[in-house]
């Protein structure tokens, strides 16, 4: 079983949102991540970077699922014709 996170889910979600909101104010994503880590008192910027990568992975997985579903729908429509 995985070790429970020492950071609450709400804090993780807030950190990811904050990085997205302030990204344009910094020269790189990592600079924005470092700034947000400091603002929220998170020990390592890598912690937030990992949270962001997990969210991005979920988005990609959801997009692939949607594309497969759309493809199946199109195939079903073509068979009905």
Q: What is the CATH number of the domain that holds 38?
A: 1.10.10.10
Residue 4 lies in a domain: no
Q: Which pTM does this prediction carry?
A: 0.67
Residue 1 lies in a domain: no
Residue 16 lies in a domain: yes
Residue 73 lies in a domain: yes
pLDDT tens for residues 12-69? 999 999 999 999 999 999 999 999 999 999 999 999 999 999 887 765 666 666 667 7
CA nearest 48: which of 2, 21, 17, 15? 15
Q: Are 72 and 64 in contact (CB under 8 A)?
A: no
Residue 66 lies in a domain: yes
Position 73 scores a pLDDT of 67
Say how far apart CA 53 and CA 60 lie, in whole Å: 10
Task: Residue 37: give the domain boundaries.
Answer: 9-80
Residue 51 lies in a domain: yes
Position 4 scores a pLDDT of 75
Report whether pLDDT(70) > 70: no
Token pair 């070790």: residue: 3
As for how many domains the chain has, the answer is: 1
């Amino acid at each position: 079983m995985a070790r429970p996170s020492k950071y609450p889910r709400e804090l993780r979600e807030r950190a990811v949102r904050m990085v997205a909101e302030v990204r344009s104010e910094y020269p790189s994503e990592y600079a924005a991540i470092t700034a947000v880590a400091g603002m929220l008192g998170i020990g390592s910027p890598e912690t937030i970077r990992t949270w962001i990568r997990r969210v991005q992975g979920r988005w990609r997985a959801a997009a692939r699922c949607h594309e497969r579903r759309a493809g199946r729908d199109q195939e079903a429509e073509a068979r009905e014709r």
